[in-house]
Amino acid sequence: MLVYLLLVIGLVVLIGGANILVLGASSIAKKFNIPNLVIGLTVVSFGTSFPELIINILAGVNGQSDLAIGNVVGSNTINILLVIGVSALIRPISVQSNTVKFEIPFSVLAMLILFVLANDVLFDAANHSVLSRSDGFMFLTFFLIFMYYTFVVSKHSKNDDGHHVQEKAIWKSILFLLIGIIGLYFGGGLIVDNATVIALKLGLSEAVIGILVIALGTSLPELATSAVAAYKGNADMAIGNIVGSNIFNVFFVLGISASIHPIAFSISLNTDILFALFSSALLFLFIFTRKGRQIDRVEASVFLVLYGAYVVCLLW
């Protein structure tokens, strides 16, 4: 019972630490007169990926590779099937043209590149598969391309993105940064350690724990935010934000993780990667069906049914 409680505490501390860190970093950025839109595209986006990043670094260093990759793949699947599914079920979500032309295809490309680079045995006839440091650097190169794109979009955008930053005293901002970093470190440690114990107790693999439990926990803030935004009718950018998070997860989180410590890849995770790739491709397809450039309630229901079936298959 204690390990489950510690896992929940770890998730709360991790997510709370990420939010506090974002508040401190945003306030410091505001003091240097950085526009709100740029802060939203960089500081806030980095902040939402910090939980996955910390868990992956700790899991990679501890040799828990399936947990590290499962966390990213699971988060991407949950973001599309569960987060967008719940949000669009509450209220149909329109999709912006930039998201259709660039961001969704780029997220599909991210999963495809992950599948190719991770499968050294399949594509290079190697003895074992691993995401090496050179793979990590390649991910980070694609991440820089994506960041360049976001800055170009921000320069040509006439509207604010809704990230209104409250400026704090410099000492308070630095204190928030330190508290956030400490929260991320200790929360991540609690999650990785106790998730491993739970996996052993239940006879589940580290990959399944990463895909179902940890990925869901780190995606809860996005789920809550998107659902409330959809209810209030302010979810026009929801899909763009979620898809952007998926790109961050692969190119930034796995890029940093693999650059620090190579991540061994288990061929059993290919099914989960291909399912995440299928989910991204299905999102792209649904935009051009039925009412066009919109995810409606019928399509949202398909997403939720697919996610439910995926969970059942994993547990089976």
- Give me 145's structure tokens: 């391309």
Instruction: Going residue by residue through the chain, which has 316 residues, state the pLDDT in tens, using 9 for 90 and above.
Output: 788 899 889 888 877 887 787 778 777 777 777 665 556 556 666 666 778 888 888 888 788 888 889 999 999 999 999 999 998 998 888 877 777 788 889 999 999 999 999 999 888 888 889 999 999 999 999 999 988 887 777 666 555 455 555 667 777 888 887 888 888 778 878 887 887 788 778 788 888 888 888 888 777 777 776 777 777 776 555 676 688 888 989 999 999 999 999 999 998 899 999 999 999 999 999 888 766 678 889 999 999 999 999 999 988 8
Q: Which domain does 221 fall in, by range?
A: 2-315
* Threshold 0.75, pTM exceeds: yes
How many domains does the structure of the chain reveal?
1
Q: Torsions phi, psi of 211, nearest 5?
A: -70, -45
Q: From the CA atom positions of the chain, what is the Rg in Å?
A: 19
Helix spans in the chain (H): 2-31, 36-39, 45-61, 65-78, 85-90, 97-98, 104-118, 120-124, 133-156, 170-202, 206-208, 215-231, 238-247, 255-260, 270-286, 297-315
For position 167, which CATH number holds? Answer: 1.20.1420.30
Beta-bridge partner residues of 131: 263
